[in-house]
Amino acid sequence: MTAYIVRRILYAIPILVGVNLVTFVLFFVVNTPDDMARLALGAKRVTPEAIEKWKIERGYDKPLLVNTAAAGGRALTDTVFFEKSVRLFVFDFGNADDGRNIGHEIRTRMWPSLALAVPVLLVGLAVNITFAMSLAFFRATPYDFWGVVLCVAMMSISTLFYIIGGQYLVSKLWSLVPISGYAGGVDAVRFLALPVVIGVVGGIGGASRWYRTIFLEEIGKDYVRTARAKGLSEVAVLFGHVLRNALIPILTGVVVVIPLLFMGSLVTESFFGIPGLGSYTIDAIQAQDFAVVRSMVFLGSVLYIAGLLLTDISYTLVDPRVRFE
Amino acid sequence: MRRKFTLADFPDQGTRELTAEDYVYQIKRLAHPRVVSPIFGHMSEYIVGLKELGERLQAENRRLAAEHAGRYGRADRNLPWIDLREHPLEGVAVVDRYTYRVLIKGAYPQFVFWLAMPFFAPMPHEADRFYAQRGMSDGRNLNLDWYPVGTGHYMLVEHNPNARMVLERNPHFRGEPYPDEGAPGDAAAGLLADAGKTAPLVDRVVYTREKEAIPYWNKFLQGYYDQSGISSDSFDQAVRLDLDGEARLTPEMQEQGIWLRTSVGTTTYYLAFNFLDPVVGGLAERARKLRQAVSIAVDWEEFISIFSNGRGIAGMGPLPPGIFGYRDGREGLNPVVYEWVDGAPRRKPIAEARQLLAEAGYPNGRDAATGQPLVLYLDTVQRGPSDKPRFDWYRRQFAKLDIQLEIRATDWNRFQEKIRAGNTQLFFLGWNADYPDPENFMFLLNGPQARAKTGGENAANYQNPEYDRLFERMKNMANGPERQAIIDRMTAIARADAPWVWGFHPKDYSLGHGWLYNVKPNHMARNGLKFYRIDPQLREAKRREWNQPVVWPLVLLAVVLAAVALAGVRAYRRRERAAARPSQRPA
């Protein structure tokens, strides 16, 4: 297993270099360092000298990918790409264009993101599995039919509608929780209650319908009939046997997103004023802050690769037939 | 540095008196190679020796960086401090402990306005040195951006730009009395009721970051914010326009005790013609008449009504209200576009515009010589699909004259690039006053500051020798009848030449709760907070009254869920007890 993990980590290095290169090229196709300087300095009275000074100060005064003026290996290393990329691999993200330290921002912002995303994932998983299980149990009944209709209806509604409607009903009309905001410690519960509920409700439709399909597929198999023949109750059959065997497709969808929970949710965090990582990248793209964009894309890639690795490992835990080769 | 994460982790802290030396230090910082200084280029044209200081500091910085790289490697960012006190600036000198002198090149009366801007806020050398220590900014944000230094009414005691910032009364503040004089109407509006009291009148101010307009608006209505603007989404909920165009609060807002203040911003938005363009540019009669015709056809009153909820006034010239030289009423009428009817300006009929277009050589929107339809190109920034109605509106305005308008939408960077290169025909742009002087608007049409030739702020590249001559006279004059006469003449020239379709000046709407006092819009300075007064008891009482929790939906939800669960359990039991059904497979 260790050899497998090491091998997978080594595979990740060229992927990360590639992701970094693509991000770099895409960003600088749209923006030149001069554009970045102009945006940072403002639209008024910007002189070429001020732009040059900004570029020197932030290390954008060198050629982007190849330095034809430099000799030997320095032709590739004395460039914006190399100097801005090499530190990423030791997770030194440097400073954003506004001077704020990106590592500090990530460390500070990931906790509110996690405080929202982890309960949404766990509660959502419990609710969706239970609901899907109940649909599978009462399959081919009016409850199942209307349950699926409800799922399809809930899938069809935009997250934004849940958020705005939830804020209007729960916070404005009924004054049960604050409309938006965030506080640390126990106070966070007050602010997170509504976004967590909305996150869970918004996910019920798609996930429950999918889980129901997985459960129904398992329910028709021979081992289920055997379990019933042994005289087990339906609850024991469903939760003890069907659920365990249905876990592989569920884990594929769930474990891979666990590391990405750090990255937060753009829309929910924005509407609920949660100072997480969700909107950090979008803000940076709007501000043409390449340092932040590059760091967040790199971090997202690392976390996604970690998620895939975790998924593979989790298979061995739930299915003894799966072995690392 | 290992255990230092906030300023509170440093045991020795202190304060001292502000002196002239601190102002001089800051002026030198404008030339510092490691400080983002947008006005360095502009100021180095005026402050004697600033440009040379910048060059010397660049050389010093390079020397220090080379030494530093040899010691710590090129990747290390902690360059050593540059003590600006050791670098003299020729044009700036400390006269005594509380006085300093700045020598500028030529006459530049507007310089005093710059002195009031944040670029010139004093900086103690101790703070600069403190933050330059090795490791201060490595992952800790121990820097001036995060922990600013100042001598004002408030101290920044909590700084989390992602969530909230908290100001508290500065115990070391020198004290400033609330003004006992104001503009006409201020006393009647109750704005002088606190005259003589020591500012600030509020001990603690909390700014919370709201990224979306809807939650912000709802929290304002709940009383959790004292002030709010009005977004387009909530405009109808807050404001109704009278038949005479006056904004009034809706009855719901009045019932909540909310007040409304409106003011026209010292901002102008305009549609510019590029004077370098062979079709629409230049001072030839043909191009001038074409521009005048377009100026009549583009109905900014309609634009303001459709896209700004009526929040704005149509422009009559380059100056917005509130700036010296602006004329209101009939005196301020732009006779090229409007006529005075029944005591109000009225846009000239489209027939007159068509006549001008025909005189320009484009009868019915076709070139009289070639018979080809006249096609004009508008460069603009596209932010998303929501811009489409605006583009359609532009096309409709030009279609009134049978002119085909092609919209060339692009991103902000490319748009700026085109303007810099003079590669446009028409474009939409705006200007917000830096300081309350007519020079700050009239210079936008000054020939020597043409964007394509000199990189200046005259984006339309307009050039009229008489206008430029008058500008040179006007820019350094004191406000008075003579300056007004020159501005009138310059405005008349610009109106006749029509380098811009004089667009509109936006109107700012500000709402506040009844417990907030002493708020007066100010478009030049953002320092009114020190005079705000709050009635905290009233605020608390209203918040409680407006936000009584309604619990019955929760109870109802619990009952429904319990009923569903109970029904499910009963159905489950019934099913478990039922006998096995025979197979439904066909025999």
Answer yes or no: is pLDDT of B586 > 60.
no
Most confident region among A91-105, B173-187, B569-583 by mean pLDDT: B173-187
Please check the confidence at residue A86 and state whether its pLDDT lies above 90: no
Is there a contact between B275 and B282 (Cβ–Cβ < 8 Å)? yes
> What is the mean predicted confidence (pLDDT) over B193-216?
93
Interface of A with B in 154-193 (CB under 8 A): 164, 167-169, 171-176, 178-182
Q: How many CB pairs under 8 A join A and B?
A: 138
Q: Are B214 and A45 inside 8 Å of each other by CB?
A: no
Of B37, B141, B568, Cβ closest to residue A104: B141
Query: Is A271 in contact with B215 (Cβ distance < 8 A)?
Result: yes
Q: What is the chain A residue with the closest CA to B455?
A: A47
> In whole angstroms, what is the distance from residue A44 CA to residue A37 CA?
12
Distance CA B283, CA B292 (A): 12
Mean pLDDT of chain B: 92
pLDDT of B154 higher than 80: yes
Average pLDDT over residues B109-121: 92
Interface test with A, best of B52, B211, B418 (most A CBs within 10 A): B211
> In terms of pLDDT, which residue wins out, A315 or B418?
B418
A128 touches chain B (CB under 8 A): no
Name the pLDDT band for A108 (thresholds 50, 70, 90): confident
HEC secondary structure over B15-50: CCCCCHHHHHHHHHHCCCCCCCCCCHHHHHCCECCH
Q: Would you tell me which residues 74-113 of chain A have a C-beta closer than 8 angstroms to some C-beta of chain B?
A: 83, 87, 94-95, 98-101, 103-105, 107-109
The number of beta carbons lying within 10 Å of the beta carbon of residue A144 is: 17
* Interface mutation target, options B209, B214, B228, chain A, most CBs of A under 10 Å: B214
Q: B77 falls in which pLDDT band (50, 70, 90)?
A: confident
Residues B477-498 have a mean pLDDT of 96
ipTM of this predicted structure: 0.84
Distance CA A240, CA A246 (A): 11
For the record, the structure tokens of A285 come out as: 């793209």
Question: Are B143 and A137 within 8 A, CB to CB?
Answer: no
Pairwise CA distance, residues B326 & A304, whole Å? 60
Structure tokens at B523: 């478009």
Can you give the pLDDT at residue B584?
56
> Residues of B numbered 160-179 whose beta carbons fall under 8 angstroms of chain A's beta carbons: which are they?
160-163
Task: Give the whole-angstrom CA distance, residue B356 versus residue B191.
Answer: 50
Q: Which amino acid is at A20?
A: N
Q: At A64, is the pLDDT very low, low, confident or very high (cuts 50, 70, 90)?
A: confident
Residue A39 has pLDDT above 50, yes or no: yes
More confident residue, B316 or A61: B316
Q: What does the pLDDT average to over B482-490?
A: 97
Does residue A72 or residue A299 have the better pLDDT?
A299
Inform me whether the pLDDT recorded for B396 exceeds 90. Answer: yes
Closest Cα in chain B to A57: B34
DSSP letters, B380-433, are EE--SGGGHHHHHHHHHHHHTTT-EEEEEEE-HHHHHHHHHHT--SEEEEEEE-
Q: Is residue A134 over pLDDT 60?
A: yes
Is residue B521 predicted with pLDDT exceeding 90? no
Q: Residue B587: which pLDDT band, with cuts at 50, 70 and 90?
A: very low
Mean pLDDT of A158-169: 93
Show residues of chain B in contact with A134, CB under 8 Å. Answer: 568
pTM: 0.86
Q: What is the mean pLDDT of residues B114-119?
A: 92
Check whether B275 has a pLDDT greater than 90: yes
> What pLDDT, on a 0 to 100 scale, did the predictor assign at position A105?
87
Over range B501-507, report the average pLDDT.
94
Q: What is the pLDDT of residues B25-74, one digit of tens each?
A: 999 999 998 888 888 888 999 999 999 999 999 999 989 988 988 888 77
Instruction: Write the residue in B210, B548, B551 that is nearest to A180 by C-beta.
Output: B210
Q: pLDDT per residue over B506-520, tens digit each?
A: 999 999 999 999 999
Best to test chain A binding among B4, B225, B413 (most A CBs inside 10 Å): B413
pLDDT of residue B9: 86
Q: Which residue has the tokens 């990582």?
A: A277
Q: What angle do CA A253, A258, A261 make, to 5 degrees?
A: 120
Q: Using 50, 70 and 90 to split pLDDT, how confident is the model at A325? A: low
Query: Å from B456 to nearest chain A CA?
Result: 7
pLDDT recorded at residue A324 = 65
Overall average pLDDT of the B277-283 stretch: 95
Contact B3/A at CB under 8 A: no
